[in-house]
Amino acid sequence: MVERLFEDLKIIDFSWVLVGPLIAKYFADFGAKVIHIESNTRPDTLRTSLPFKDEIQDLDFNGYFPLYNSNKYGMALNLQHKKGIEIARRLVAWSDVIIESFRPGVMERLGLGFEELRKIKPDIIMLSTTMQGQNGPNAFQPGFGNQLVGLVGFPSVTGWPDRDIVQPYGAYTDCIAPYFGVAAIVGALLYRNRTGKGQHLDLSQYEAGVQFISVPLLDWMINGRNAVREGNSSRCGAPHGVYQCLGEDRWCAIAVFNDEEWKGLCRAMGKEDLIYDRRFITLFSRKRNEVELNRLVEEWTQKLDAREVVSKLQAFGVPSGVVNNNSDLFDDPQLKERQCFWMIDHPVLGPFPHPSPSFKLSKTPSEPRMPAPCLGQHTEFVCKEFLKMSDEEFKQLFDEEVFK
């Protein structure tokens, strides 16, 4: 039997969309009991996003939500109902960690703010994750990660200088912030184990994103220079870009930063005469003649399969990689060996791949225990098994639409 790292940990997940649910999922993947709270009147927004199985636009046919909520229990709870709040408070008494992603003040208005929760359970840990944190002039601004991508400044450095700004794929900050949230909760758990005290964790997704643009920030602080869009090139390397290979829409990435890598590239290409060509002999000369250099490189890559190009380059110590498409990822032998994708059988969608945690723990590995819940799938189970609710009480609350 697999020993589970967080087997005794109990989490109530009031969050929605991606950041909060993904934080909770990491703990669920390593054995924590996580209950995801939503309702039919306020379902998790991810359930309304594309894609849908067989184009059936139903909340339980959505393919996005299950990726970030597997290994969790799903409970429908109407927080607009007075008795729904009472049930939420009972869940707090049962739990160790609360995760929420409402705008600042919402949990307080519901009577579920941190100070109220401490009265129920003094050592409770609460993580609040919002766009810009719990305080400050813009703390109450609602929105999604796509807006934060712009606020952080990612589009100012992505794309080509002579073209319109290019937004990074998706809500990029949503894929950054969860790691900070997981680390914060682990830190709070260690503090609680040592002192017996809980605490309120305030995660600003904006500030998490800023951590990933530190080099341009440093350039501004030291040199007063704003970063500009450079396309696939780099001031520190040449050739540095993505090059077309044999086949339809097949590419590889190549990055040469020093003279040894330049020599390796020339040898891989079978063009050792270029090593001491005065146009390319140093990084500075290669940068001056980058257009011609890129043309020569792509003349070579276009005649070869991308994997063949990369194999030749890596044999000579040249940093390079295939630009994979979706089907490539599922066929990648490295990802297969490390079981990057879990095949989980969803009650509505059937079996389909889920990304597993990217880190492995040798003694307490993560494991796929159950699929993401359909909306409210485990409401009765949670009430009776975890809250020890009687059949009569559950039926009465159900009839009163507390679990709507």
Q: Hey, which residues are catalytic here?
A: 174
Angle, in degrees to the nearest 10, between helices 290-301 and 306-315: 110
| 401/393 Cα distance (integer angstroms) | 13
CA distance linking residue 257 with residue 261, whole number of Å: 7
- Cα–Cα–Cα angle for 98, 23, 364, rounded to 5 degrees: 105
CA 203 to each of CA 76, 100, 103, 231: distance values in angstroms, whole numbers, following the listed order: 26, 10, 12, 32
Residue with tokens 């299950």: 66
DSSP assignment of 90-147: HHHHH-SEEEE-SPTTHHHHTT-SHHHHHHH-TT-EEEEEESS-SSSTTTT----HHH
Cis amide bond preceding 51, omega within 30: yes
The sign of the CA dihedral 176, 320, 329, 32 is: negative
Task: Classify strands 97-100 and 10-13 as parallel, antiparallel or unpaired.
Answer: parallel
Calculate the alpha carbon distances from 219 to 213, 223, 224, 227, 333 in Å: 10, 5, 7, 8, 39
Contact, 71 vs 80, CB < 8 A? no
Assess contact for 324 and 332: CB atoms under 8 A: yes
